[in-house]
Amino acid sequence: MSTETSDNNKKLSDGTIFGIGNPLLDIIAEVPVSFLEGYKLNANDAILASDDHKGLNESLLRDFPNHQFVAGGATQNSIRAATWLLQQANSCVYMGCVGQDKYHQLLHDAASKAGLILSYQVHTDSEERVQTGTCAVLITGNNRSLVANLGAANHFTIEHLDDPKNKQLIEKAKIFYTAGFFYTVCPPAIMRICEHADTHNKIFCTNLSAPFICEYFGDKLMKAMPYVDYLFGNETEARSFGKHQLKLDTEEIKVIAKAISDLPKKNSQRPRVVVITQGSEPTVLAITGQEPKEFPVKKPLDIVDTNGAGDSFVGGFLAYLALGKSHEESIQAGAYCAFECIQQSGCTFPDKPSFDPTTFVV
Protein backbone atom coordinates (compact mmCIF):
# COMPACT_ATOMS: atom_id res chain seq x y z
CA MET A 1 0.00 0.00 0.00
CA SER A 2 1.39 3.38 -0.97
CA THR A 3 2.03 5.84 1.85
CA GLU A 4 3.19 8.81 -0.22
CA THR A 5 1.67 12.11 0.77
CA SER A 6 0.50 12.72 -2.81
CA ASP A 7 -2.08 10.02 -2.11
CA ASN A 8 -3.70 12.39 0.40
CA ASN A 9 -5.05 14.31 -2.60
CA LYS A 10 -6.44 11.19 -4.29
CA LYS A 11 -9.93 11.98 -5.57
CA LEU A 12 -12.50 9.53 -4.28
CA SER A 13 -15.59 8.82 -6.32
CA ASP A 14 -18.83 10.30 -4.96
CA GLY A 15 -20.42 8.29 -2.16
CA THR A 16 -17.36 6.07 -1.54
CA ILE A 17 -18.11 5.94 2.20
CA PHE A 18 -21.72 5.13 3.15
CA GLY A 19 -23.09 5.78 6.65
CA ILE A 20 -26.48 4.77 8.05
CA GLY A 21 -27.65 5.72 11.53
CA ASN A 22 -29.74 7.90 13.81
CA PRO A 23 -29.66 11.54 12.62
CA LEU A 24 -29.93 14.17 15.35
CA LEU A 25 -29.85 17.95 15.05
CA ASP A 26 -27.41 19.14 17.72
CA ILE A 27 -28.47 22.52 19.12
CA ILE A 28 -25.45 23.91 20.94
CA ALA A 29 -25.75 26.89 23.29
CA GLU A 30 -23.98 28.43 26.27
CA VAL A 31 -26.54 28.76 29.04
CA PRO A 32 -26.54 29.92 32.68
CA VAL A 33 -26.69 27.29 35.44
CA SER A 34 -30.19 28.56 36.27
CA PHE A 35 -31.34 27.32 32.84
CA LEU A 36 -30.21 23.78 33.74
CA GLU A 37 -31.92 24.01 37.11
CA GLY A 38 -35.16 25.09 35.45
CA TYR A 39 -35.19 21.82 33.50
CA LYS A 40 -33.83 19.66 36.38
CA LEU A 41 -30.56 18.98 34.56
CA ASN A 42 -27.04 18.31 35.84
CA ALA A 43 -24.05 20.22 34.49
CA ASN A 44 -22.24 17.18 33.07
CA ASP A 45 -24.79 14.65 31.99
CA ALA A 46 -26.24 12.80 29.00
CA ILE A 47 -29.90 11.85 29.19
CA LEU A 48 -32.91 11.11 27.01
CA ALA A 49 -35.54 13.86 27.02
CA SER A 50 -38.62 13.37 29.23
CA ASP A 51 -41.73 15.40 30.01
CA ASP A 52 -39.53 17.66 32.19
CA HIS A 53 -37.85 18.95 29.04
CA LYS A 54 -40.84 20.01 26.95
CA GLY A 55 -40.15 23.38 25.35
CA LEU A 56 -36.39 23.20 26.00
CA ASN A 57 -35.37 23.34 22.31
CA GLU A 58 -37.78 26.18 21.56
CA SER A 59 -36.43 28.10 24.52
CA LEU A 60 -32.86 27.66 23.21
CA LEU A 61 -33.83 28.96 19.76
CA ARG A 62 -35.75 31.90 21.22
CA ASP A 63 -33.63 33.02 24.17
CA PHE A 64 -30.06 32.16 23.13
CA PRO A 65 -29.41 33.79 19.73
CA ASN A 66 -25.80 32.55 19.67
CA HIS A 67 -26.89 28.90 19.40
CA GLN A 68 -25.40 26.83 16.60
CA PHE A 69 -26.64 23.82 14.66
CA VAL A 70 -24.52 20.74 13.97
CA ALA A 71 -25.55 17.62 12.04
CA GLY A 72 -25.22 15.09 14.84
CA GLY A 73 -25.86 11.51 15.82
CA ALA A 74 -22.88 9.15 16.12
CA THR A 75 -22.72 7.89 12.53
CA GLN A 76 -23.42 11.29 10.97
CA ASN A 77 -20.63 12.76 13.14
CA SER A 78 -18.19 10.16 11.78
CA ILE A 79 -19.28 10.77 8.19
CA ARG A 80 -18.81 14.54 8.68
CA ALA A 81 -15.34 13.97 10.16
CA ALA A 82 -14.33 11.81 7.19
CA THR A 83 -15.58 14.42 4.72
CA TRP A 84 -13.75 17.18 6.62
CA LEU A 85 -10.42 15.34 6.67
CA LEU A 86 -10.72 14.39 3.00
CA GLN A 87 -11.79 17.94 2.05
CA GLN A 88 -13.87 16.30 -0.68
CA ALA A 89 -17.56 17.20 -0.72
CA ASN A 90 -19.84 14.31 -1.77
CA SER A 91 -17.22 11.65 -0.99
CA CYS A 92 -19.54 10.36 1.77
CA VAL A 93 -23.24 9.55 1.81
CA TYR A 94 -25.51 9.36 4.86
CA MET A 95 -29.01 8.11 5.53
CA GLY A 96 -31.32 7.87 8.51
CA CYS A 97 -34.88 8.84 9.41
CA VAL A 98 -36.14 12.40 10.10
CA GLY A 99 -39.52 14.04 10.72
CA GLN A 100 -41.53 16.48 8.65
CA ASP A 101 -40.67 19.64 10.55
CA LYS A 102 -38.36 22.63 10.77
CA TYR A 103 -35.69 20.59 12.57
CA HIS A 104 -35.45 18.36 9.47
CA GLN A 105 -34.72 21.42 7.33
CA LEU A 106 -32.15 22.75 9.83
CA LEU A 107 -30.48 19.34 9.98
CA HIS A 108 -30.48 18.99 6.20
CA ASP A 109 -28.89 22.43 5.84
CA ALA A 110 -26.18 21.69 8.42
CA ALA A 111 -25.31 18.29 6.90
CA SER A 112 -25.32 19.64 3.33
CA LYS A 113 -23.04 22.47 4.40
CA ALA A 114 -20.67 19.81 5.79
CA GLY A 115 -20.48 18.28 2.28
CA LEU A 116 -22.55 15.10 2.74
CA ILE A 117 -24.75 13.43 0.13
CA LEU A 118 -28.01 12.96 2.03
CA SER A 119 -30.82 10.48 1.65
CA TYR A 120 -33.01 10.96 4.71
CA GLN A 121 -36.14 8.86 5.06
CA VAL A 122 -38.96 11.25 6.05
CA HIS A 123 -41.40 9.84 8.61
CA THR A 124 -44.81 11.19 7.62
CA ASP A 125 -47.30 9.61 10.03
CA SER A 126 -49.55 12.64 10.50
CA GLU A 127 -51.31 11.25 13.58
CA GLU A 128 -48.09 10.99 15.60
CA ARG A 129 -46.29 14.14 14.36
CA VAL A 130 -42.94 12.57 15.23
CA GLN A 131 -40.28 15.26 15.24
CA THR A 132 -36.78 15.04 13.81
CA GLY A 133 -34.31 13.79 16.42
CA THR A 134 -32.52 16.50 18.39
CA CYS A 135 -29.82 16.78 20.99
CA ALA A 136 -29.57 19.92 23.09
CA VAL A 137 -25.92 20.54 24.04
CA LEU A 138 -26.03 22.91 27.01
CA ILE A 139 -22.67 24.43 27.88
CA THR A 140 -21.98 25.92 31.31
CA GLY A 141 -18.31 26.85 31.65
CA ASN A 142 -16.31 23.69 30.89
CA ASN A 143 -19.30 21.41 31.44
CA ARG A 144 -21.85 20.22 28.93
CA SER A 145 -25.22 18.60 29.49
CA LEU A 146 -26.78 16.57 26.66
CA VAL A 147 -30.53 16.10 26.30
CA ALA A 148 -31.38 13.81 23.40
CA ASN A 149 -34.75 13.17 21.83
CA LEU A 150 -34.38 10.40 19.22
CA GLY A 151 -37.77 11.20 17.71
CA ALA A 152 -38.02 10.12 14.07
CA ALA A 153 -34.55 8.52 14.12
CA ASN A 154 -36.24 5.53 15.80
CA HIS A 155 -38.58 5.03 12.82
CA PHE A 156 -36.20 4.03 10.00
CA THR A 157 -37.56 1.14 7.93
CA ILE A 158 -35.83 -1.22 5.48
CA GLU A 159 -38.19 -0.04 2.70
CA HIS A 160 -36.00 3.05 2.35
CA LEU A 161 -33.23 0.80 0.98
CA ASP A 162 -35.59 -0.38 -1.80
CA ASP A 163 -35.86 3.10 -3.30
CA PRO A 164 -34.05 2.97 -6.70
CA LYS A 165 -31.98 6.07 -5.81
CA ASN A 166 -30.83 4.46 -2.57
CA LYS A 167 -30.09 1.13 -4.26
CA GLN A 168 -27.78 3.11 -6.55
CA LEU A 169 -26.05 4.75 -3.57
CA ILE A 170 -25.46 1.31 -2.04
CA GLU A 171 -24.13 -0.04 -5.35
CA LYS A 172 -21.65 2.84 -5.69
CA ALA A 173 -20.34 2.74 -2.11
CA LYS A 174 -17.14 0.86 -1.23
CA ILE A 175 -17.08 1.23 2.57
CA PHE A 176 -20.14 0.93 4.84
CA TYR A 177 -20.37 2.15 8.43
CA THR A 178 -22.99 2.17 11.15
CA ALA A 179 -22.61 2.93 14.84
CA GLY A 180 -23.96 0.47 17.42
CA PHE A 181 -26.97 2.65 18.19
CA PHE A 182 -28.63 1.73 14.87
CA TYR A 183 -28.92 -1.90 16.03
CA THR A 184 -31.70 -0.65 18.33
CA VAL A 185 -33.61 0.77 15.34
CA CYS A 186 -33.45 -1.40 12.21
CA PRO A 187 -31.29 -4.55 12.35
CA PRO A 188 -32.78 -5.88 9.06
CA ALA A 189 -31.34 -2.85 7.20
CA ILE A 190 -27.92 -3.55 8.74
CA MET A 191 -28.08 -7.20 7.71
CA ARG A 192 -29.02 -6.29 4.14
CA ILE A 193 -26.00 -3.97 3.92
CA CYS A 194 -23.79 -6.67 5.49
CA GLU A 195 -24.89 -9.18 2.86
CA HIS A 196 -24.37 -6.68 0.03
CA ALA A 197 -20.85 -5.92 1.28
CA ASP A 198 -20.07 -9.63 1.56
CA THR A 199 -21.43 -10.48 -1.91
CA HIS A 200 -19.48 -7.66 -3.58
CA ASN A 201 -16.30 -7.92 -1.48
CA LYS A 202 -16.85 -4.45 0.00
CA ILE A 203 -15.87 -3.29 3.49
CA PHE A 204 -18.38 -3.29 6.38
CA CYS A 205 -17.48 -1.40 9.57
CA THR A 206 -19.36 -0.99 12.82
CA ASN A 207 -18.99 0.26 16.39
CA LEU A 208 -19.78 -1.10 19.86
CA SER A 209 -20.90 2.48 20.73
CA ALA A 210 -22.10 1.99 24.33
CA PRO A 211 -21.99 -0.61 27.11
CA PHE A 212 -25.81 -0.96 27.01
CA ILE A 213 -25.61 -1.88 23.30
CA CYS A 214 -23.07 -4.61 24.10
CA GLU A 215 -25.24 -5.94 26.92
CA TYR A 216 -28.82 -5.62 25.70
CA PHE A 217 -28.44 -5.56 21.90
CA GLY A 218 -25.36 -7.79 21.76
CA ASP A 219 -27.31 -10.53 19.98
CA LYS A 220 -27.92 -8.13 17.07
CA LEU A 221 -24.22 -7.21 17.02
CA MET A 222 -23.23 -10.86 17.10
CA LYS A 223 -25.51 -11.61 14.15
CA ALA A 224 -23.67 -8.96 12.10
CA MET A 225 -20.22 -9.92 13.43
CA PRO A 226 -19.35 -12.53 10.75
CA TYR A 227 -19.65 -9.69 8.19
CA VAL A 228 -17.63 -7.12 10.17
CA ASP A 229 -14.29 -6.16 8.59
CA TYR A 230 -13.54 -3.26 10.96
CA LEU A 231 -14.87 -2.96 14.51
CA PHE A 232 -14.43 0.17 16.63
CA GLY A 233 -15.12 0.83 20.30
CA ASN A 234 -13.66 2.24 23.49
CA GLU A 235 -12.35 0.40 26.55
CA THR A 236 -15.59 0.39 28.59
CA GLU A 237 -17.58 -0.87 25.59
CA ALA A 238 -14.98 -3.55 24.83
CA ARG A 239 -15.09 -4.78 28.44
CA SER A 240 -18.89 -4.93 28.34
CA PHE A 241 -18.80 -6.85 25.07
CA GLY A 242 -16.12 -9.21 26.40
CA LYS A 243 -18.16 -9.93 29.52
CA HIS A 244 -21.66 -10.22 28.06
CA GLN A 245 -21.07 -11.63 24.57
CA LEU A 246 -17.74 -13.47 24.75
CA LYS A 247 -18.12 -14.53 28.41
CA LEU A 248 -14.48 -13.57 29.01
CA ASP A 249 -13.22 -13.30 32.56
CA THR A 250 -10.77 -10.49 31.87
CA GLU A 251 -10.59 -6.69 31.81
CA GLU A 252 -7.44 -6.76 29.62
CA ILE A 253 -8.22 -4.78 26.45
CA LYS A 254 -5.61 -6.50 24.29
CA VAL A 255 -7.02 -9.93 25.17
CA ILE A 256 -10.60 -8.82 24.44
CA ALA A 257 -9.63 -7.11 21.16
CA LYS A 258 -7.77 -10.21 20.00
CA ALA A 259 -10.73 -12.43 20.91
CA ILE A 260 -13.07 -10.21 18.84
CA SER A 261 -10.65 -10.22 15.89
CA ASP A 262 -10.59 -14.03 15.97
CA LEU A 263 -14.40 -14.50 15.92
CA PRO A 264 -15.71 -16.37 12.84
CA LYS A 265 -15.77 -14.28 9.65
CA LYS A 266 -17.57 -14.94 6.35
CA ASN A 267 -15.23 -13.13 3.97
CA SER A 268 -11.85 -14.79 4.48
CA GLN A 269 -10.21 -12.61 1.81
CA ARG A 270 -9.40 -10.04 4.48
CA PRO A 271 -8.79 -10.36 8.23
CA ARG A 272 -10.97 -8.60 10.80
CA VAL A 273 -9.45 -5.41 12.23
CA VAL A 274 -10.45 -4.33 15.75
CA VAL A 275 -9.58 -0.83 16.97
CA ILE A 276 -10.21 0.03 20.63
CA THR A 277 -9.56 3.59 21.82
CA GLN A 278 -8.90 4.32 25.51
CA GLY A 279 -9.14 8.11 25.82
CA SER A 280 -5.62 9.42 26.40
CA GLU A 281 -4.27 5.87 26.92
CA PRO A 282 -2.82 3.96 23.93
CA THR A 283 -5.16 2.80 21.16
CA VAL A 284 -5.20 -0.99 20.66
CA LEU A 285 -5.14 -2.56 17.19
CA ALA A 286 -5.94 -6.28 16.85
CA ILE A 287 -5.94 -8.08 13.49
CA THR A 288 -7.06 -11.69 13.01
CA GLY A 289 -4.19 -14.08 13.68
CA GLN A 290 -1.75 -11.36 14.83
CA GLU A 291 -0.58 -10.12 18.21
CA PRO A 292 -2.29 -6.82 19.20
CA LYS A 293 -0.34 -3.55 18.92
CA GLU A 294 -0.61 -0.30 20.85
CA PHE A 295 -0.39 3.28 19.56
CA PRO A 296 0.23 6.20 21.95
CA VAL A 297 -2.21 9.10 21.81
CA LYS A 298 -1.22 12.74 21.35
CA LYS A 299 -2.99 15.01 23.83
CA PRO A 300 -3.73 18.72 23.24
CA LEU A 301 -2.82 21.30 25.88
CA ASP A 302 -6.47 22.37 26.23
CA ILE A 303 -9.43 20.02 26.17
CA VAL A 304 -12.75 21.81 25.68
CA ASP A 305 -15.18 18.91 25.19
CA THR A 306 -14.51 15.18 24.74
CA ASN A 307 -18.03 14.57 23.37
CA GLY A 308 -17.70 13.26 19.80
CA ALA A 309 -14.03 12.23 20.10
CA GLY A 310 -14.80 8.58 19.35
CA ASP A 311 -17.02 9.48 16.38
CA SER A 312 -14.31 11.77 15.02
CA PHE A 313 -11.68 9.05 15.38
CA VAL A 314 -13.77 6.67 13.27
CA GLY A 315 -14.28 9.36 10.61
CA GLY A 316 -10.55 9.99 10.27
CA PHE A 317 -9.83 6.26 10.14
CA LEU A 318 -12.47 5.65 7.44
CA ALA A 319 -11.14 8.56 5.36
CA TYR A 320 -7.64 7.10 5.30
CA LEU A 321 -8.98 3.60 4.73
CA ALA A 322 -10.79 4.96 1.65
CA LEU A 323 -7.50 6.50 0.46
CA GLY A 324 -5.86 3.06 0.65
CA LYS A 325 -3.61 3.90 3.59
CA SER A 326 -2.11 1.49 6.11
CA HIS A 327 -3.87 0.67 9.39
CA GLU A 328 -1.15 2.56 11.27
CA GLU A 329 -1.73 5.72 9.23
CA SER A 330 -5.49 5.33 9.51
CA ILE A 331 -5.16 5.21 13.31
CA GLN A 332 -3.04 8.38 13.17
CA ALA A 333 -5.69 10.07 10.99
CA GLY A 334 -8.39 9.04 13.45
CA ALA A 335 -6.36 10.29 16.40
CA TYR A 336 -5.81 13.61 14.59
CA CYS A 337 -9.57 14.14 14.03
CA ALA A 338 -10.27 13.35 17.70
CA PHE A 339 -7.39 15.69 18.72
CA GLU A 340 -9.02 18.56 16.80
CA CYS A 341 -12.56 17.71 17.92
CA ILE A 342 -11.81 17.80 21.66
CA GLN A 343 -10.41 21.32 21.31
CA GLN A 344 -13.83 22.50 20.04
CA SER A 345 -17.27 22.61 21.59
CA GLY A 346 -19.50 19.77 20.34
CA CYS A 347 -18.43 17.45 17.52
CA THR A 348 -16.99 20.22 15.35
CA PHE A 349 -13.69 20.96 13.61
CA PRO A 350 -11.55 23.89 12.48
CA ASP A 351 -12.17 25.23 8.98
CA LYS A 352 -9.41 23.15 7.41
CA PRO A 353 -7.40 20.12 8.58
CA SER A 354 -3.62 20.39 8.92
CA PHE A 355 -2.82 16.69 9.28
CA ASP A 356 0.67 15.46 8.48
CA PRO A 357 1.27 11.84 9.55
CA THR A 358 5.02 12.44 9.72
CA THR A 359 4.72 15.23 12.30
CA PHE A 360 1.51 14.26 14.15
CA VAL A 361 3.24 11.99 16.63
CA VAL A 362 3.41 11.88 20.40
Which tens digit of pLDDT belongs to each residue from 132-191?
999 999 999 878 889 999 999 999 999 999 999 999 999 999 999 999 999 999 999 999
Is residue 29 one of the residues assigned to a domain? no
* Sequential DSSP letters for 272-336: -EEEEEETTEEEEEEETTS--EEE-----S-----TTHHHHHHHHHHHHHHTT--HHHHHHHHHH
Residues 6+ apart with CB under 8 A from 108: 98, 118, 120
Residue span of the structural domain in which 163 resides: 17-23+73-131+150-342
Which tens digit of pLDDT belongs to each residue from 2-45?
333 345 668 999 999 999 999 999 999 999 999 999 999 998 88
Q: Average model confidence (pLDDT) for the chain?
A: 94
Is residue 140 one of the residues assigned to a domain? no
Which tens digit of pLDDT belongs to each residue from 209-248?
999 999 999 999 999 999 999 999 999 999 999 999 999 9
CA-CA distance, 222 to 235, in Å (whole number)?
18
Is residue 249 one of the residues assigned to a domain? yes
**pLDDT recorded at residue 8:** 62
Which tens digit of pLDDT belongs to each residue from 279-315?
999 999 999 999 999 999 998 988 888 889 999 999 9
CATH of residue 164: 3.40.1190.20
Is residue 360 one of the residues assigned to a domain? no
- Does the pTM exceed 0.85? yes
**pLDDT recorded at residue 127:** 73
Is residue 333 one of the residues assigned to a domain? yes
Give the sign of the dihedral formed by CA 305, CA 311, CA 317, CA 319: negative
Q: At 45, which helix (H) or strand (E)? A: strand 45-48
Q: Please give the tally of structural domains in the chain.
A: 1
**pLDDT recorded at residue 45:** 81
Told to judge if 311 belongs to the known catalytic residues of this protein, a careful annotator would answer: yes
Neighbour tally for 277: CB within 10 Å: 27
**pLDDT recorded at residue 63:** 96
Which tens digit of pLDDT belongs to each residue from 324-360?
999 999 999 999 999 999 999 889 999 999 999 888 8
* Residue 362 banded pLDDT, cuts 50, 70, 90: low
Backbone angles phi, psi at 102, to 5 degrees: -70, -30
Which tens digit of pLDDT belongs to each residue from 74-95?
999 999 999 999 999 999 999 9
Backbone angles phi, psi at 32, to 5 degrees: -75, 160
Is residue 5 one of the residues assigned to a domain? no
Is residue 274 one of the residues assigned to a domain? yes
66 vs 358, more confident: 66
Is residue 353 one of the residues assigned to a domain? no
Q: Which of 305, 311, 351, 356 is catalytic?
A: 311
